A and B are shown apart, each in its own frame.
Chain A
Amino acid sequence: MAPAAGADQRVTPGFVRRNGYGPRMAATLAVPTTSYDVRRHRLRNGLRVVLAPDKAAPVVAVAVYYDVGIRSEPEGRTGFAHLFEHLMFQGSASLGKMEHIRYVMSSGGTLNGSTRLDYTNYYEALPSNALERALFLEADRMRSPRVTEENLANQIAVVKEEIRVNVLNQPYGGFPWLSLPPLLFDTFPNAHNGYGGFEDLESATVEDAADFFKRYYAPGNAVLSVGGDFDPDEALELIEKHFGDIPRRKTPPRPSFAEPEVTEERRGEVVDDNAPTPALALGWRVPDPADLDAYLPYVVLADLLTRGDASRLRQRLVHTDRLVTDVSAHLGVMQDPFDVRDPTLLIVEAYHSADVSGDSVVAAVDDELARLAAGDLDADEVGRVQARQAASLLTRNDFILGRTLLMAAFEQQRNNPGLVGELPARLGTVTPEQVLEAAGHLQPDRRARLDLVPGGNR
């Protein structure tokens, strides 16, 4: 994105003037603002398109986000959204098994997909001369994936191995992303295991897959995001050419998954036969991410608590009291504050030795939160945490694929892909008062506490 190259893109260096709260400490650098050339379109079949041209390097990223995720799964079909993601790589209208993958990779590209609570995505990063090919491949499986008895059975086996490698055979596997939600949430969509039970996976049928595709994979339920080295008018023509004739279908309404507030502490325990030492996780509901002004203070708070050696909980729990081997705070079970919709949570997770009691770890966390809530926080500390957060976002956005994915998510959630450029500055508008208020919300009676107990079997 060097401002040379006669490209359509631009990054405007400038300086954020922070709102309110006191003078900035001279030592903290102002965070340069960024803005990207972002264009939005909607095809007649309802597909939403985001184009973000950037000629800096001869690479492109293509991402398709479907508005279906773990929360969309019906009871008795746990893990189905993720299994279906695997099936989308098994061939499509014009392509046999493995062909999609071979076409991407033999073009010099890489690809993947992922299943989250609120979306399922598919993406490629490739040399820019492969743009049309990538669009064709995504359109072909949006038109019709090729699910057979054989490849369904094969991918059920593969997913079971994925679950074994990441959960069943892995110390701390699934902790806390699979084990905390059932404690903090009460309804099936929010609480159930998104990897799925083996019995549910094994009973999945080709018919289930066809129904799921028909219901959730309509063009009107998807966002196509393209970033990198291309001409936007040409790209739009190619998109029309390949996606334009996919028939419009009804799109499912997105239900509300909201649940009532937690009003007294919930406690749970999970035994992990693979783990040698204990761990614990605390989870609190946080405001709807759609309301950025209410949500961002928690994003700042999480980093202020555990990011880097100057953070509150690392100083106290790791270095001073030496209670834990590691502690981290993050938003959302997938550890990405911006890939999730309401309801979601802030998690503090800590790993400790058996000589240390979980209660002493929790007491120290509560003590630090109480200190914050009582007002022990100055603008300098918030300012430098924000500077680091903003800079990290800049690094994430430097990768065309990272930026393209985030734009797709923001289009899907907020109709605002340009927020990717604005976000570093938006984080900087959070005031210390808002951070204090967020810390004050993290009370014991609003949380779930999950203790991981080592089974001692290994």
Chain B
Amino acid sequence: MTPRAREVPPLAKPRKPRLPAVAERVLDNGLRVVAVRRGGVPMVHARLRIPFAGRKPEHLPKRWALDATMLHGTAEHSRTELAVAMQEIGGALSVGTDADRLQIRGESLAKGLPRMLELIGEVVTSAAYPSDAVAGEVERLQTVLRQRLSQPAEVAAEALRHRLYDGHPYGRDLPTPDEVAGVTAAAVRSLHRRWVVPAGSLLVLVGDITPARALDHVEARLQGWSGKGTARLPKPDVPVGGGLTLVDRPGAVQSNIRLGGPALPRTDDPAYAAMSLANVVFGGYFASRLVQNIREDKGYTYSPRSGITHGDTASTVVVEADVATEVTAPALVEIAYELGRVATTPVTAEELDSAAHYTSGILALQTATQSGLASTLEDLLADGLDVSWLRTYPERLARVTTDEVREQAQRHFAPARLATVVVGDASRVQDELGGLAEVVPADGG
């Protein structure tokens, strides 16, 4: 009993998302504040982004220690009191750092906004870093780092960073346990004084708030924060292509394949839109060529993908696939084939149309929530763009041609331009991989 085929319904007329109204103020201390009203639920979300781009190698373990202890009390409140105060407004704060920036992320009931700002203000102006707490966290972090470095995906990501950005702060994200062991509370306090400053920082608030009043609350609670601005990282030199780095993980039942290379920064340039669509067609969504080939046809892997990541001074193409050990080399052949194909032959109009619709649709979904809109705005503003991008980018995507996609694919997805890293059981994969590329064992494994 074969049911008859039915027609897939066409799309209805689209309804465009409304562009959010943005209220903005730059405080005298240099802090840029953006507030947006987005009803929905009676919550408010905060993203405070502070440039944090230390260049010296010892910056890395120190920022990990700062990240772990920033909420361990202020001049007025202990760690527990701070956490209690946030719970009382239905909220929570968290801190994260990367090579470019420190982010304080907060959410609370909308009525709790003044209190949340007061507590964020306390943290940035008077985080205490008690010696005992820092010592405790430094010890805990050493075990956490051992746990992180036991994860093959972390090892692979770190190896790829090293390949692409060796010698630059983008070249590492995980310090060794030994490096962290040497960090003192005094060093963390001094790091805070130097870097946690309002000049060049950005605060985004999105939620069930009145933007003008929210700006006043920010001004009242954060104008006392002071300090001199800091510089961004220098632009790294990225080597093109090169051999295959093999990180040995004896006994591994899978190999983690990673390829990476330089990408365009997010800008209004039409080339950026074309490069993004080349990524989507190649491996940036489930309907991509990469997924079709090595998952849905060959069954080599569960979740192959590609993506573009952005640092302040460099953007990166990353291709990822975790594959069964016995198909490591064949999987790499297929990945190289798909990269070569997208770089040298035109994508179809249908593929392009699908990728453009997908990218616009995902942007609409991402910005349909308070929290998603806050994060998206933070990223846009930090990249020197503004809220109008939410409207202009989909328009730009719709105008990209297949020629433009091929041009960008040639520049950014050609296999010879990408560095390759494999984490796996070298005794089982090295010989076959050696037939595909020059294999360089990673130092230190």
Residues of A within 8 A of B (CB): 1-3, 11, 13, 25, 27-29, 31-32, 34, 56-59, 93-95, 97-98, 101-103, 105-111, 125-133, 136-137, 140, 143-144, 153-162, 164-165, 168-172, 229, 273-277, 308-310, 315, 318-319, 322, 325-326, 351-353, 384-385, 387-388, 390-391, 394-395, 397-400, 457-458
Closest 7 CB pairs of A and B: A108-B361, A157-B299, A391-B90, A106-B354, A310-B83, A2-B39, A309-B83
B355 CB to nearest A CB, Å: 8
B371 at the interface (CB under 8 A from A): yes
A131 touches B12 (CB 8 A): yes
A324 CB to nearest B CB, Å: 8
C-alpha gap A360/B146 in the complex (Å): 21
Which single residue of chain A is at the shortest CB-CB distance from B359?
Answer: A108
B250 at the interface (CB under 8 A from A): yes
What A residues does B251 contact at CB under 8 A?
A: 273, 457-458
A309 touches B323 (CB 8 A): no
Contact with A along B3-28 (1 / 0, CB 8 A): 11111111111111100000000000
B42 at the interface (CB under 8 A from A): yes
A60 CB to nearest B CB, Å: 10
Q: A108-B358, A387-B88 are in contact. Are A169 and B40 (CB under 8 A)?
A: no
C-alpha gap A70/B234 in the complex (Å): 52
Of A1, A132, A325, A385, which one neighbours B40 at CB under 8 angstroms? Answer: A1
A154 touches B299 (CB 8 A): yes
B254 touches A106 (CB 8 A): no
C-alpha gap A127/B12 in the complex (Å): 10
C-alpha gap A159/B107 in the complex (Å): 37
Q: Report the number of A-B residue pairs with Cβ-Cβ less than 8 Å.
A: 256
B41 at the interface (CB under 8 A from A): yes
C-alpha gap A144/B361 in the complex (Å): 28
C-alpha gap A93/B8 in the complex (Å): 11
C-alpha gap A400/B16 in the complex (Å): 17
What A residues does B108 contact at CB under 8 A?
A: 391
A185 CB to nearest B CB, Å: 28
B82 at the interface (CB under 8 A from A): yes
B186 at the interface (CB under 8 A from A): no
C-alpha gap A102/B355 in the complex (Å): 10
Q: A110-B365, A131-B12, A309-B79 are in contact. Are A56 and B40 (CB under 8 A)?
A: yes
A165 CB to nearest B CB, Å: 5
Q: A161-B323, A353-B143 are in contact. Are A93 and B361 (CB under 8 A)?
A: no
Known: A102-B354, A352-B143, A391-B91. 6 other contacts (CB 8 A): A59-B364, A106-B287, A108-B361, A129-B12, A391-B109, A398-B371
Residue pairs across A and B with Cβ atoms less than 8 A apart, 11 shown, are A1-B39, A2-B40, A11-B39, A105-B285, A126-B365, A129-B13, A144-B3, A161-B299, A164-B324, A310-B87, A325-B144
What B residues does A162 contact at CB under 8 A?
A: 302-303
A101 touches B286 (CB 8 A): yes
A308 touches B83 (CB 8 A): yes
C-alpha gap A159/B143 in the complex (Å): 32
